[in-house]
Structure 1
Amino acid sequence: MGLEGVGDGAIHEILSKLGPNDTGKVSCVSKRFRDSASVDSLWSKICLDDLDLVSPQDPQGNPAPSFKAAYQLWREAFAMYPWPLVLRVKRCWGKLKSWLSKNYPEAEATLRGGASESDIEQLERLLKVKLPLPTRVLYRFHDGQELPAMNLTGNPFLLLGIIGGYDFYDHLVNVYLLPLSQVIVETRKARYCWGFTSRSKYIVVAASSTSAKKLFFFNCTKGQLYVGTSKLSTDRDMIPCVPNSLIRSVRGSSGDQHQDAMLLWLEEHGRRMESGIIKVREQEEIRSISLFPEVPPLCSTTVTNGVKIRASAVFVPELANLQHDIDKYLFAYSIRMSLLPDGCIINGMTFNSCQLKLRHWQIRSNDAVAFIDDGEAMIGEVLVCLVISLSVVVASADDISVKTFMCWKN
């Protein structure tokens, strides 16, 4: 019995095991197979598996007449790019948007629609660069973020940057992914103020919206992403964000091999969000994405007498000085304390509140004390001394030990 004698149910089952390319080939066999390969339930599964679409939509989010039509619109919109790369970029953005939707919808709302090919070509023409394919596709999905009204001038009340940041003393950082129009503005400014030439092929792709100058530069030739140090303005000193060994085939034709630093950086950022390393913090009724790690081993916690202490550290590249031995790598640390539900238990007695009176932090690099911080906190009448040892592990740096001597009152 030939295939023409096979029942419709069996044909549908066979087609459901095929990918979109093979399904398209089968549709060319005969009218019957073309009709079977056009059933929308079949393309619904393909759209869900490939594009994570639960309803038929085009790349701009507009409704499509069917799942098959939606898939065709997606393939046509990205016909100039390797399809595996398009799917990988879509997954990258999907993870970021899913996390933002659940944890920080206000920041998700700032994501712009995708840039057009003409938008990208205009940037390339004006800045005399050629974007690697992964970065081009990233911008085709989302053209960065809508920036605060006080664009990059230090408005502290709009901390919606999806890259996040940190806050210590008077240093506040919150990084936005720039839209192409602002990439042009900031890159021209960098070339004028700091001596970057068009031949260097650097463009500014992300920046803090606060007065703290944290800038990310993308090298369009190498496909590497850099972050500026404290010597950026004088020596154009920068640190690579991704190991060079991971960057490959930024201009080749094999879609499975394409990955530049922009794509790898955003994928890692999404992974840290999903795993809980990065969370949204609220301070003085202002929410923002905090880069202080929240999950071990990048974050250390201990509990003593019902008081939970959590310590973590984050690298602050914009204050680092690679030319100086002492300030070569600068880290900010965060120590957070909270009372467990059972309260503070001391000598068998339970207290439902306690206050920190004094602090004594010892910051250790390897076995040497690198920094000591003493100071007052809340003043109480009855003091109970607790001694807690913590270890903070920071990626790509020596282990930092934080030993805390704290005085509490109940």
Structure 2
Amino acid sequence: MATSIALSLDNLPSDPLLLVLSFLDFRDLISCSFVSRRLNELTGHNPLWKSLCQKHWLLTEADKTHRGLAWKELFREYYADLGRYIDYYKTLKKAWDDLKNYLNQKCPRMIASLKEGVREEELDTIEAQIGCKLPNDYRCSYRIHNGQKLVVPGLMGSMALSNHYRSEDLLDIETAAGGFQQRKGMRQCLPLTFCFHTGLSQYMALESTEGRTRSEIFYQCPDQLAQDPSAIDMFITGPNFTEWFTSYVDNVVTGKYPIIRDQIFRWYVHDKCCVATTGDITVSVSTSFLPELSSVHPPHFFFTYRIRIEMAKSALPENACQLDSRYWKITNANGNVEEVRGPGVVGEFPVMTPGKVHEYASCTTFSTTSEYMEGHYTFHRLKNKEEVFDVSIPRFHMVCPPFRESMVRSVSRYLCLSRTTIIVVVVVAVIIVVDSLIQAR
């Protein structure tokens, strides 16, 4: 009769156990270490902690060598310092690294404006100073970089249009705390950014109050007609810090926000589909919404667009031409159409030769939250002015970001509707009574 062998963790081979442990997170590994002596030994296996260090802290072999620690000790050291941010750290650290790597190639002087991260105690002190808790993802980002020095150009993008210029800085925590708001309509709001030229900031709501949602990021848009200081509408730019920051970084590093003269031109968003080629000439368009020049009440939405006209390098020299006029067909959200014709573009009549690029910016205002434009330019050949042809301008959309009305307006509208409802009910009641009297007769 064969002798039975009792199975236990102590006599199982290591490889299958390590394979099982490799699927566990750090919390589960720590729990397993208390189950038995064997599991305690295996959960100290360095490759397990190496994968966790890479997963949660983005650490490399070079980081390990520099610190002179085993992977398990390295993980514990980071967790002791940044453990409360483990759900955000990887995402935000990667965004910061991607942004810095990109800027180091495209506009390196921007890197010099970044400030070193703050200590945990400094963030606690700020919370005590303003009397509000900071969102954990915001705190996590500021442990990596404490915003930037107040310089131009700003890290959060620039924009230039005629005599209107703006450049937005990412505020350090100390400056942001100095601008913490307690006034009516903006209570419990912390500025994230600041523009020297417009005085405009993007704010983050630290509490769900006055119609805002905690962690929401927005531009304030005061009612131009209201006397009440709390009648502040807002253009929403992000539901929380992580989405706000990572989406911005993604737009920068993927080229959606162009780098022009060592500045991030954040305000111009280029849709890769918004390109049209006619013969040797290609026209592409990028657009921008300007909150500082817009309002919800009255409805006045200000957009700017940047157009690039390029003649192919392979074009024949005899195809050189000059722009004479433009035609626009503008359609608003209500389906109303307006047509505009005029000479040149912003007062210029550019000459296009092989490889030549001409760019210009213009602007428009709408009373609806979205509109689109399309049209064509008319050119003539330099060698033969009688040879006239049209070059298509691709359709491009301009859409206002989501916005929220102030509590003051929402309440007043509700009260107005309530009064209207009461009047309607009274009128109906009177009709019913009169009708009853008539029937009674």
TM-score of the superposed pair, with normalisation by structure 2: 0.67
CA distance in 2, matches of 1:405, 1:135: 47
Partner AA of 1:176 in structure 2? D
Change (3 A) 1:120 1:330: same
- 1:288 pairs with 2:264: yes
Aligned to 2:26: 20
Cα distance change, pair 99–9 in 1 and its aligned pair in 2 (3 A): same
Instruction: Say if 2:117 is the partner of 1:114.
Output: yes
Is 2:130 the counterpart of 1:130? no
TM-superposed CA distance for 1:291, in Å, is 2.9
Counterpart AA for 1:377: E
Partner of 1:252: none
User: Shift of residue 75 of structure 1?
Assistant: 1.5
Q: Aligned residue for 1:171?
A: 164
Other structure's SS at 1:295 match: strand
What does residue 330 of structure 2 align with?
364
More deviation, 15-24/225-234:
225-234
User: Out of 173, 189, 213, which is 1:202 matched to?
Assistant: 189
Task: Count how many residue pairs are aligned between Structure 1 and Structure 2.
Answer: 350
- Name the SS for the 1:308 alignment partner: strand
Quote the offset at 1:225 in angstroms: 1.5
Change (3 A) 1:342 1:381: closer
Give the structure 2 partner of residue 255 of structure 1.
none
Pick closer, same or farther for the CA change 1:203–1:17 going to 2, 3 Å: closer
Alignment of 1:226 with 2:218, yes or no, is: yes
Structure 1 residue 31 displacement after superposition:
4.8
Aligned residue in 2 for 1:77: 81
Correspondences of 1:303-314 after superposition (within 5 Å)? 303-314=277-288
Identify the match of residue 40 of structure 1 among 34, 37, 46. Answer: 46
Matched-pair contact (CA < 8 Å) for 1:26–1:33: yes
CA-to-aligned-CA distance 1:50-82 (integer Å, 9 cap, x gap): 222224759xx9836232222112211134x36
| Alignment partners' CA distance in 1, 2:55 and 2:188 | 37
Q: Is 1:398 the counterpart of 2:370 in the alignment?
A: yes
Quickly say closer, same or farther: Cα 1:202–1:17, change in 2 above 3 A: closer
Q: Report deviation, 1:121.
A: 2.8
Query: Displacement of 1:118 after TM fit?
Result: 2.6
Aligned to 1:250: none
Report the Cα distance in structure 1 between the residues aligned to 2:221 and 2:186, rounded to whole angstroms: 21
Pair 1:322 & 2:296 matched: yes
Q: What CA deviation, in whole Å up to 9, does each residue of 1:170-224 have, x standing for no partner?
A: 2122222110122134x16x77xxxx3698112211022x423331122211322
Q: Distance in 2 between matches of 1:118 and 1:107?
A: 28
Q: Distance in 1 between matches of 2:66 and 2:221?
A: 43
CA RMSD of aligned residues (A): 3.7
Does the 8 A contact of 1:175 with 1:206 survive in 2? yes
Q: 1:333 Cα shift?
A: 0.8
The alpha carbon displacement at 1:145 in A equals 1.5
Deviation of 1:93 after TM superposition, in Å, equals: 3.8
Distance 2:21 2:104 in 1: 35
* 1:216 and 1:228 in contact (8 A); partners too: yes
Matches within 5 A, 1:52-91: 52-55=58-61, 57=63, 63=67, 65-79=69-83, 81=84, 83-91=86-94
SS at match of 1:78: helix
2:360: which partner in 1?
none
Decide which of 200, 203, 212 is 1:217's aligned counterpart: 203
SS of residue paired to 2:77: helix
Q: Whole-Å Cα distance in 2 between the matches of residues 316 and 29 of structure 1?
A: 60
2:142 aligns with one of 135, 139, 146: 139
Supply the AA of the counterpart residue of 2:256: I
From the CA coordinates, give the structure whose radius of gyration is larger.
Answer: 2
What is the CA–CA distance in structure 2 between the aligned matches of 1:290 and 1:399, rounded to whole Å? 21
Task: Evaluate the alpha carbon distance shift between residue 110 and residue 373 of structure 1 in structure 2; reply closer, same or farther with a 3 A threshold.
Answer: farther
CA distance in 1, matches of 2:341, 2:266: 24
Percent identical residues:
15
- Specify the SS of the correspondent of 1:277: coil
CA–CA distance in structure 1, aligned partners of residues 340 and 10 of structure 2? 80
Unaligned runs of 5+ in 1: 149-157, 248-260, 344-349, 383-393
CA shift, 1:372, in A, is: 6.0
Deviation digits for residues 342-397 of structure 1 (CA, Å, limit 9, x no counterpart): 22xxxxxx228746444425261334228666444246699xxxxxxxxxxx9x94
